[in-house]
Amino acid sequence: MDKNTGIGLLLMAAVFFGFMWLSPKKETVTDTDDSTPSQLAQQPATPDSLSATEQEWLVKNIILNGEPVILPDSTHATRLNDGNINLTVAGNTVSGTVTVDGKTLDWADISRRDLKKMTALEQRKAVEAVRTASISMGRYGKFARFLSGNDSVLKMENDVIKLQFSAKSGTITRAELKKYDTEYTPDESQKRKEKVVIFNDSTNSLSFQLPLPQAVSTADLYFTPKVLNDSTILMSLPMENGAYWGIEYTLPKGDSYVVGIRIVQENMAGVVESNNRNLIVNWKQDLIRQEKGKMFEERNSALYYKFAGGSVENLSENKNDKEEREAKVRWIGFKNQFFSSVLIAERPFNTADFESTVLKNEPYFLKSFSAEAVSNDYDWNASSPVRFSLFIGPNLYPLLSDLDKHTVADENLKLTKMIPLGWSIFRWINTGVVIPLFNFLGSFISNYGIIILIMTILIKLVLFPLTYKSYLSQAKMRVLAPDIKAINDKYPGTENAMIRQQKTMALYNKAGANPMSGCLPMLLQMPILFAMFSFFPSAIELRGESFLWAKDLAAPDAIISWSGHIPLVTEYFGNHISLFCLLMTVTNIIYTRINMQNQSGGMPGMKWMMYLMPIFFMIFFNNYAAGLSYYYFLSLLITIAQTYAFRFFVKEEDVRKTMAENAKKPKKKSGFMARLEEMQKQQQAMLREQQKRNKR
């Protein structure tokens, strides 16, 4: 390379780097939904200054949404003051200051980029702050001034609940139940129990999307809190000329779990200038785990809702689910096994969307619920256009059934449907008999183990006639067993099946025995057994109540536990062995053996099946509440005692004598026997006809 070539390359490099140095640097501008269409069409080429379009929008937004003021020279102007930005518009002229990093800069110096009074970075930050404020005013209108502020916490409580409110979003951020302790403790060595917290901070969000030309969510706004009295708090957004929009919360004194929520406003019709009448309620909550057994708690947690004047429905308890309802909805409930949060509307929502997500591998949470409900009759001229009642409390049947009197709704809310008490007939037994009896005993007995014992004895006394009749029928069948065997031996083979059946039924009729009378009493007892199966896992009264070795009658009474996941075993049996369930199983095997001795005949292969059933029940019941296993254990013990008592007092010789005396008396055929004989005659006629055709 010669000298001239080197000088040429150096000159070219100098020109290139000089061009790069002097050229303006472009910065990427990302379009967002916060900008208006005209703003997106004319984004500035540099962040150092506002474009002509942005300057025009800034003036327009301050005039429309700023605070009217009168300047010292009596000029009418509009001012934007959000703390860091203090700009005034008089005519089309913008003046004022912008504070950046604690330094106050004049808007005129910022606009002409006077770098003698500020650094380039400060100038850019000031322009960006004003640009952001202008975009926010374009979207939020009069509410833009509430996008920044100071957060503060207010507390309110009564005898049963403690609430915490936040100025940021103006909503309830924490709800604690004072009379209930959480049974779930990640650290088993922790002896002190914490109070049940239904939701806390980010686990719950209840916000309103205001009916404005562009969506404004109260979750983004800073409210001014005001304590009106010892039971009422107002979260307000004050405007000019005495206008304001706010949310009023009322928590009655005493033992009320219902929070009154009222939207309040003054002179807002002239402020917002909106024809939109759709108020949208957004509610989200992560369900906090409260109980020891996560599997059973998860199975009994779901999102519930009720149609106005209609039925109560719920999303799936076992999997992710969602629903879109184009119908009027009266209330929405986020239900845990023993606790719920229910939002009840004075006027039903017109539409609602629901979603439930199971939170897998989450130690502290069960599910995530979300609901978006729309009310399309919002009135900006009304002083209180919308009212709600928010229930935050236990799933206690008497409490939920009484809530109709203490909410804003004017219909039967059917909130007790959130308590799973079984199908119609089982639910009727629970609500009409079991729960009233349980509450009556609980009014003067404090030990729930004793209450369950007394209930079991009372239920057994009511069922005693059926149990006695069932045993008597079995005794008659045992007495007739030799005669039935003689008939079977005398008429063997399939060709004599009809004759055997006729002779057997004649024997039953003569002796006054009915083979169905032993099964019918047992069938009549089944609804009570199934009703109790639904009642005990749903009874919050048993939660945290100890009896003997069981520390919590609403949870499994594990005496042996192990860690780790065993396929199939963990899913169905759990990681423990429950003692009451084990006792129930042993007692059930003993009862099965006694019951098999009371029966005559039967298939030998069925005996093994009868003995396997208690084992299957143990696998099924091991994860259920200790109170349920305890009830079945007591019930089986009493049944065994009754059986031995029947054996002592009911002698087979006496039964045989009674049946012999019945055989001497003229018998009128019962309807059942008459129908059975008629069926036999028809079968015989068909058999003879078939035999004739075969001979041809």
What is the per-residue pLDDT across 171-189, written as a single tens digit (0 to 9) for each?
999 999 999 998 887 665 5
Query: Quick one: pLDDT at residue 683?
Result: 67
Flag the least confident range among 53-57, 197-201, 257-261: 53-57
In this model, does residue 313 exceed pLDDT 60? yes
Identify which has the larger pLDDT, 567 or 189.
Answer: 567
Q: What is the CATH number of domain 153-419?
A: 2.70.98.90
DSSP string, 81-114: ESSSEEEEEETTEEEEEEEETTEEEEHHHHHTT-
Cα–Cα–Cα angle for 507, 509, 513, nearest 5°? 90
**Closest listed residue to residue 449, CA positions, set 628, 642, 577:** 628
Rounded-to-5 percentages of helix, strand, coil across the chain: 45, 25, 30
Q: Starting at the earlier edge strand, list the strands of the sheet with 153-157.
A: 153-157, 161-166, 171-181, 195-200
What distance in Å separates the CA atoms of residue 676 and residue 670, rounded to the nearest whole number?
Answer: 10
pLDDT digits (tens, 9 = 90+) for 316-351: 988 999 999 989 999 999 999 999 999 999 999 999
Interval 61-74 mean pLDDT? 81
Interval 569-578 mean pLDDT? 71
Query: Quick one: pLDDT at residue 664?
Result: 57
pLDDT band at 153 (very low <50, low <70, confident <90, very high): very high
Query: Quick one: pLDDT at residue 659?
Result: 64
What DSSP state is assigned to residue 382?
S
Query: Quick one: pLDDT at residue 246?
Result: 94
**What pTM was computed for the model?**
0.78
Interval 412-431 mean pLDDT? 89
pLDDT digits (tens, 9 = 90+) for 209-252: 988 877 789 998 999 999 999 899 999 999 877 889 999 999 99
Q: Where are the domains of the chain?
A: 44-146, 153-419, 448-664, 666-696
Please, what's the b/e burial string for 338-348 (b: 16 or more CB within 10 A of its CB; e: otherwise)? bbbbbbbbbbb
What is the distance of C-alpha 159 from the center of its chain?
A: 24
Segment (H or E) for 368: strand 365-375
Percent of the chain with pLDDT over 90: 28
For strands 279-288 and 321-325, give the pairing: unpaired
Query: Quick one: pLDDT at residue 84?
Result: 85
What distance in Å separates the CA atoms of residue 177 and residue 158, rounded to the nearest whole number?
Answer: 10
What DSSP state is assigned to residue 193?
P
pLDDT band at 476 (very low <50, low <70, confident <90, very high): low
Judging by beta carbons within 10 Å of its beta carbon (0-12, 13-18, 19+), is residue 289 exposed, middle or buried? buried
pLDDT band at 269 (very low <50, low <70, confident <90, very high): confident
Query: Quick one: pLDDT at residue 529?
Result: 84
Percent of the chain with pLDDT over 70: 75
Flag the least confident range among 398-402, 541-545, 620-624: 620-624
pLDDT band at 604 (very low <50, low <70, confident <90, very high): low
In this model, does residue 411 exceed pLDDT 90? no
Query: Quick one: pLDDT at residue 234?
Result: 95
Query: Quick one: pLDDT at residue 66?
Result: 78
pLDDT band at 133 (very low <50, low <70, confident <90, very high): confident
Q: 595: how many CB neighbours lie within 10 A of its CB?
A: 15
Q: Which residues pair with 694 in a beta bridge?
A: none
Interval 394-418 mean pLDDT? 89
In this model, does residue 487 exceed pLDDT 80? no
Flag the least confident range among 57-61, 70-74, 466-470, 607-611: 607-611
**Closest listed residue to residue 546, CA positions, set 435, 445, 447, 443:** 447
What is the distance of C-alpha 173 from the center of its chain?
A: 18
Query: Quick one: pLDDT at residue 407?
Result: 85
Tell me the average pLDDT of the chain: 80
What DSSP state is assigned to residue 591?
H
Q: Which residues pair with 683 in a beta bridge?
A: none
SS3 letters across 404-473:
HHHCCCCCCCCHHHHCCCCCHHHHHHHHHHHHHHHHHHHCCCCCHHHHHHHHHHHHHHHHHHHHHHHHHH
Judging by beta carbons within 10 Å of its beta carbon (0-12, 13-18, 19+), is residue 658 exposed, middle or buried? middle
For strands 365-375 and 351-358, give the pairing: antiparallel
pLDDT digits (tens, 9 = 90+) for 4-54: 445 554 555 554 455 454 444 433 333 334 444 444 334 444 567 888 888
